[in-house]
Structure 1
């Protein structure tokens, strides 16, 4: 006795045929997203445009079938210059790669972050109606940190208690130079301290050891070290019990930075959007498998994943 089987793509469909096609999935409204994930709004829009009524679970099933997920939109500054971002991906970053390769140098991304003693502790499970209590100091104090990560999984950091300025930046640059026996290419944002006369003079005296490159303005998503800062702000408040600034600085070093230095796979994940990847336009040119008449635009997101937007080519 033989049993007839169907390949997954050729199985006869079950139930009634679909009343709508995936085309209406474009342009669905953004929802603030409580509970139903905006399914009610989308359902009302479908009924208004096409006269087809769906329940919220039905809308969710269709959206999932079309490859859509309920997401929290990422934020971008309105002051950001899109042309500068495109220039960074298409010209500046490949140029930095080529110069580092010619110098046999190391590429690093750097950034600074502040850690406060009263940052949010986080959430956990507890009995309903009985709020859990975490005992910690009522004094408010903070420390600052600066870190630099490479695309090869290395991390360098400095924790300090004073305000971040040009003097602190020069001290950090000196540490970076001391850790490498070859030229370092350091990529930073356009903070005023990074572009100060003091820093420029220091770099002129060490131009054979380190070179500074700047990201486009208002573009933190291009700096993978911002993920280090987010990781620090998320994980450290759950564990620290510091009673003063000295203890907070020590716990920042021991509980976070020293631990991450022993996890190169995590550091590589921070810089995933730049690690061992071709240039932005090179990758868009390499990926050629697309339907006729459809162009492909590729870009990096803040989590280091390739994203694609297809658009009808002219």
Structure 2
């Protein structure tokens, strides 16, 4: 039964007309459906003019759109492809609703409130997001060539030699590094007691798409000699030839490293990722995972931090499915295709 205070459904309107056709009076039909008598006559007029389809409830048109379709597409393209600095000459590089409203006013002479601008942006399929920062010194052509040509060639060579392809990186984590959230009373910021200071723990790590993971922790300087210590560990624990893919930092390109690989008799070969392209290295996921987990522990000094990092790495070694999952990042699809 229809209830007063709400619209009757399409099916109820059709049913009402059927009752009228069967000889029931409009008053009885209105009473049976719980609607006003005038509604019955209105439905009858609508059906006579446009058929039963005219009885369907139509969505209210809402406010008229202030911008034309072409103007809306221009706004979407501007927010998507350029920065406020390029458009307005400001020092700001991140879009806000107020800045978008300023562009609309300047270009089209249409004044929109901040709230209306937000509704417009949502309607154009845009949302507030944390941007990924990229260096202007990136060579996009070199990155594309790495994905399409260089790495497939490296992978084919590794298969012919029976070598394992490892992606390696290094990171340094300070005792006072903090991240993560916790629960607390509204208006009262929780307090967590942990160590302070700038002492840090260094870590070299390398992983393969099959879930293989190796690492080395240290407290000293992260230089070419520390990197060579990690390479020595890899050669000791992996019997197959190793292809190690790293970035082009001076730690990896030093003469001592080149001499070391030359003396390995082909057991270790280094290849270098394009510059300013960390998203091509799956070892970045290892670093993020360990930093996120270790930062949640209240370590007092660098020794406790090293223990926390060690536990995190041992966990990943026991869960190769998690390590393999790192390669599901769309930026890393080139590795497993």
Equivalent residue in structure 1 for 2:107, among 49, 52, 76 = 49
Instruction: Check conservation: 1:185, 1:210, Cα contact below 8 A.
Output: yes
Q: Which has the larger radius of gyration?
A: 2
Name the counterpart of 2:326.
270
Name the counterpart of 2:231.
173
Equivalent residue in structure 1 for 2:160, among 102, 127, 142 = 102
Q: How does 1:134-213 map to 2 (within 5 A)?
A: 134-213=192-271
Q: Return 5+ residue gaps in structure 1 as ranges.
A: 6-10, 280-314
Report the alpha carbon displacement of residue 176 of structure 1 after superposing the two structures with TM. 1.9
Change (3 A) 1:61 1:130: closer
Change (3 A) 1:64 1:173: same
C-alpha offsets along residues 252-291 of structure 1, whole Å, 9 cap, x if unaligned?
101x111222333332232333357677xxxxxxxxxxxx
Task: Return the alpha-carbon distance in structure 1 between the equivalents of residues 118 and 137 of structure 2.
Answer: 35
Asked if residue 69 in structure 1 is aligned to residue 127 in structure 2, the reply is yes
Name the counterpart of 2:37.
none
Q: Kindly report the root-mean-square deviation, in angstroms, between the aligned alpha carbons of the 2 structures.
A: 3.2
Change (3 A) 1:155 1:277: closer
Change (3 A) 1:277 1:84: closer
SS at match of 2:295: helix
Q: How does 1:234-245 map to 2 (within 5 A)?
A: 234-239=292-297, 241-245=298-302
Instruction: Check conservation: 1:225, 1:271, Cα contact below 8 A.
Output: no
Query: Which is strand-richer, 1 or 2?
Result: 1
Report the alpha carbon displacement of residue 33 of structure 1 after superposing the two structures with TM. 10
Report the alpha carbon displacement of residue 129 of structure 1 after superposing the two structures with TM. 5.0
Instruction: Check conservation: 1:150, 1:271, Cα contact below 8 A.
Output: no
Change (3 A) 1:129 1:57: closer
Instruction: Check conservation: 1:81, 1:217, Cα contact below 8 A.
Output: yes
Task: Return the alpha-carbon distance in structure 1 between the equivalents of residues 198 and 98 of structure 2.
Answer: 44
C-alpha offsets along residues 136-185 of structure 1, whole Å, 9 cap, x if unaligned?
23454211101111122222111111112222222211222233332221
Report the alpha carbon displacement of residue 14 of structure 1 after superposing the two structures with TM. 5.1
Query: Which is helix-richer, 1 or 2?
Result: 2
SS at match of 1:77: coil
Equivalent residue in structure 2 for 1:230, among 273, 288, 297 = 288
Task: Return the alpha-carbon distance in structure 2 between the equivalents of residues 89 and 219 of structure 1.
Answer: 11
Q: TM-score, normalised by structure 1?
A: 0.73
Instruction: Check conservation: 2:147, 2:334, Cα contact below 8 A.
Output: no
Name the counterpart of 2:78.
27
Deviates more, 1:184-193 or 1:219-228: 219-228
Name the counterpart of 2:191.
133
Q: Return 5+ residue gaps in structure 2 as ranges.
A: 1-10, 16-51, 85-91
Q: How many residues align?
A: 270
Higher relative contact order (CA 8 A, sep 6+): 1
Change (3 A) 1:64 1:178: farther
SS at match of 1:213: strand
Asked if residue 249 in structure 1 is aligned to residue 306 in structure 2, the reply is yes
